[in-house]
Structure 1
């Protein structure tokens, strides 16, 4: 991209990656959807069944989903800023493999849509991201910082904090949905404290947790093998 782009579209996709082996480098410019308002169902960047998409240096804000790479594999999402997206900032799902990488993204103030909120949802390695200020605006709504779906992958070195559920809902710093995921060296904090679980594993023998620091949740870790070095209070 060579300049900021904004749209008031309330549905559809602002940018579509329509071929394999495409790199979208926004060079720090903005892709904005805030003008559509809080009822928007529009998505910022979308690809379906593509291979090796790379999205970097983008500033994506104000969409229901900031970025959704559906299907395919070999994707890299790195060094982006996502803020004020309504439901999910970035998602990589329904792929043929887990050869995807989500790294060094900054994800701020996700929430405000009509459903529960999950800031990052990915099949693949999720490394060195910062998630701050996710919230749910619906009663009973769940707020999740990182939702991991890639079997055998790792969630490492992420900062997750300031998660707020809907009234009567729960927060999850990291939620693991599949087997053999390693969750290591993450810093997860709620201030003020909220009901929920810092790291929700897939099973006590299927998720490996090491070196994590967790504070401000009703439960620090659950369904996760304590592989050492974890601290929660």
Structure 2
């Protein structure tokens, strides 16, 4: 049931669109922290530390690379609820909305990100090269493979809405709402409506949330609308660690499955992974391998 998380880098093998908010100036957010640092066009590379803000909707049709690249440490991207759009690139896009590679302390907040291969992609060449990231209070819609892809210890993914994910024709076969690698917490997010294009074997899988090599906490999330085809599988929350050292805790999540096909509410790689106080319904198997600390399992 493990979906490959980095097909282009050949590493571990294992969101129709919403109506965008109007592009006219909107009240709500403050620009005080920006200190003149504004993102005015795409694509852009951010090479100076600090808070960088959007003050209008921005779109791009590029099919590779990133709309916004974070090229230094200690950068915050605050979209102030404006749209960062890549829908014009189509279903074959390989573009990330916001990309950071081997960086520390990247923050992405208040963004409306849609139409990219990955809405946010924070990548690490090794565990020691990426840490301290925060992805919070964003809306991800109609991204074709991942809503959020994050690798980095001490990171937090919280209060995001990840909807209508899937449809990649460049890398078909799976859709993932949120993917976090290394010790990070995934808290209070909504993941809804994942539907991938089938691969060459006719299979399309969906993972709501997947965490890898993590002793973090996955709590208070809502996952539903996992569509599968052929021999594809549906997993509400997946935890993976082939080193047998991670001890993640999965609790107080509300998971709704497709009701048919191979599916698991919480799929754990190891019995060292604890699941408790989750509400799970509509999956063929509520828990797989996890240590059951007490969960409500419905039909």
- Using structure 1 for the length normalisation, give the TM-score: 0.95
2:100 to 47, 54, 76: 47
Distance 2:77 2:67 in 1: 13
Distance 1:55 1:150 in 2: 23
Deviates more, 1:7-16 or 1:147-156: 147-156
Counterpart in the other structure of 1:58: 111
Q: Is the 8 A contact 1:209 1:230 kept in 2?
A: no
2:155 pairs with 1:88:
no
Counterpart in the other structure of 1:140: 203
Deviation string 1:139-162 (CA, Å, 9 cap, x unpaired) is 212210000124211100000001
2:221 to 146, 149, 158: 158
Aligned length: 229
Q: Is the 8 A contact 1:173 1:199 kept in 2?
A: yes
Distance 1:185 1:49 in 2: 32
2:232 pairs with 1:169:
yes
Q: Which runs of 4+ in 1 moved over 4 A?
A: 191-194
Counterpart in the other structure of 1:119: 177
Distance 2:143 2:219 in 1: 23
Larger Rg belongs to = 2
Deviates more, 1:40-49 or 1:185-194: 185-194
Distance 1:56 1:194 in 2: 36
1:131 to 170, 186, 191: 191
Counterpart in the other structure of 2:37: none
Distance 2:278 2:238 in 1: 14
Distance 1:227 1:220 in 2: 13
Q: Superposition pairs for residues 9-28 of structure 1, below 5 Å? A: 9-28=62-81
2:279 pairs with 1:213:
yes
How far residue 194 of structure 1 moved from its aligned partner, in angstroms, is 4.4
Q: Is the 8 A contact 2:258 2:283 kept in 1?
A: no
Task: Could you tell me which runs of 5 or more consecutive residues in structure 1 were left unpaired when the two chains were aligned.
Answer: none
Distance 1:26 1:177 in 2: 32
Distance 1:119 1:229 in 2: 23
2:283 pairs with 1:231:
no
Deviates more, 1:151-160 or 1:183-192: 183-192
Equivalent position SS for 1:35: helix
Distance 1:226 1:232 in 2: 15
Distance 1:175 1:39 in 2: 26
How far residue 192 of structure 1 moved from its aligned partner, in angstroms, is 5.2
How far residue 202 of structure 1 moved from its aligned partner, in angstroms, is 1.8
Whichever structure has more strand as a proportion of its residues is 1
Task: Could you tell me which runs of 5 or more consecutive residues in structure 2 were left unpaired when the two chains were aligned.
Answer: 1-53, 125-129
